[in-house]
Structure 1
Amino acid sequence: MKMISRILLLLILSSCLCAATFVVNVTQSCYQAQENHSITLEWTFTTKTQGSWRDLFIYCRLVAPHKELIFYQVHGGVEIPDSQDEQFSGRVQIDKDVLREGRIRLHVSRLRTEDSGQYLCDVKTEDGSDKEKCQLNVSKMISAVPGQSVSLPCRLPNIKPAVVVQWTRPDLEPEYVLLFRDEQPDPENQHPSFRKRVELQERRMKDGDVSLLLSNVTTSDSGKYECRVFQRVSSGRKTVNLTSDPIWIVFLDVAPPPENVVGRKEDGSRNNHVGLIVGAILIIGAVLIAALIIGLILHHYVIKTKEEETEDEQITELTVSVKDGSSSDPQP
């Protein structure tokens, strides 16, 4: 009886050890990509057997505020594309060649900003089960013309309130575009070019929206904007946490409209030297037209003169011939 108990205990411990050694990992915890580009998300899982994939189950989903969407699914070793949410339809492909090596490589094309969020993959095989997540932030490209106002989007990854919001431009010194803390903007380290031109909509911050409103943009505002947040670990403590990675990245491109690019300065005014060039071209055109008209008149005058000279010569010849004819007649 003791022997049987020992065998059962050994089997239980072996089963637990097998399950404990099955691990799912992500090759990268946070991905950054740009709108309309492509990206590859990758997970790895423990493989110890070379058996059939009939016991392979993969369930990947996007977990974002107020939604959870099926991203990719394998059931009993068979893909189930019909279970995929419409948002990802036709945009997700798996690299099947590396799946047997314990690698899940999912290629996502034509990225959208709504693809941003946490991607959680549950994996189950005959060796065990586990899950792991990664963060994907899809940056938006925003275009504007000088003088416009724009909104640079940023949304919190969870429902915890933001204690501090940082908007930065890495290429500037100081890099702070806006620093919001203690429930108000802190202009102390703000870059001078953004003073009195940026703000957050506090009424939207309650819903996790910390988008930056930038007014009266100029071409010098073009660049990469990064959004970071501090959030409370516990509502009863003052401790806050900060991730060094931005939760949102936005690229802003400010340029004059295509029809006004030539001949306009950064502030949109007409460039003087271009105006001179245009004036010179008009003057040269007028001179050429006048020269053409004068040339036509002279050409007509020359032709007319030649015609008159030819006519005079013909009259002279006729007169001479008449005179010669009259002198040869006999006198009466």
Structure 2
Amino acid sequence: MHYFKSVFFTLIVQGIITAACGDPLKVQAQSGQNVLLKCLGHTHYPIEAVKWLKPDLRSDHYVYFYREKRPVEYYQHEDFVGRVELRDPQMTDGDFSLILKNVTINDTGRYECEISYSNTERVKQAPSKLYCSFDLKVDEDPLKVQAKSGQNVLLKCLGPTHSPIEAVKWMKPDRRSDHYVFFYREKRPVEYYQHEDFVGRVELRDPQMTDGDFSLILKNVTINDTGRYDCEISYSNAKRVKHAPSKLYCSFELKVDEGPEGSGFASILQLEKHLILTVSIATVVILIVF
């Protein structure tokens, strides 16, 4: 019997459920987005371990590792610390889907999920393994934002929350200046390094940067604000946070239209930074009745 490629299918035979994935599902995202890698499995068997792997890391560490009813960061690769989580930490209804936050071009590659089940005496026919596989491609193109003259624009950038912040720099490369749109260091904004065009016109949505929110509000935009905006967050590698990331980037392409002045916040043309890119997986169920 022929099955479509890249299809997740479930086969129910005499009450025994087995699951498999075909060829790796292709996932495409833009830099800065959150990506959902959707993997569904069994709900009736005790889970021994959940392992999300990225084979090209060439490391014994994992993207995500779960064992003994809890995630184990000790076995997690440093590139993914603070950046991944299960969509449902309780794995209700067999949902092992992984959320990968704020992806960059370095996250491009193969991702595999391996779920191991326990064969207890009570559940003699529990399957030993379940696999899901994805090929992720991350584009570097900046997120496009469109606004009308007079509006306030929100450039939404989210990052890790578990690492100490050294500096936050919002830049506009076409200014050809050493000054910034917004500059933060030593736990405070520093206006000395701010470009004169943005003095009094920008602020962080959350000055405390709670939950890793580095989003910038640009007020009362004009056509002169059109252009590219980059955010660079530097983290301190404190001794107690050995795997703190060194940099995080978000990038936007802002286009401000002339005409009647707008009000409120601008709209984003494509997907906002916090939007999760969901991979839809078709499900084929075959019931064989004897």
**Structure with the bigger percentage of helix:** 1
Q: TM-score range by the shorter chain?
A: 0.3 to 0.5
- Greater relative contact order, per chain length (Cα 8 Å cut-off, separation 6+): 2
Determine which structure has more spread, i.e. the larger CA radius of gyration: 1
Q: TM-score, normalised by structure 1?
A: 0.38
**Structure with the bigger percentage of strand:** 2
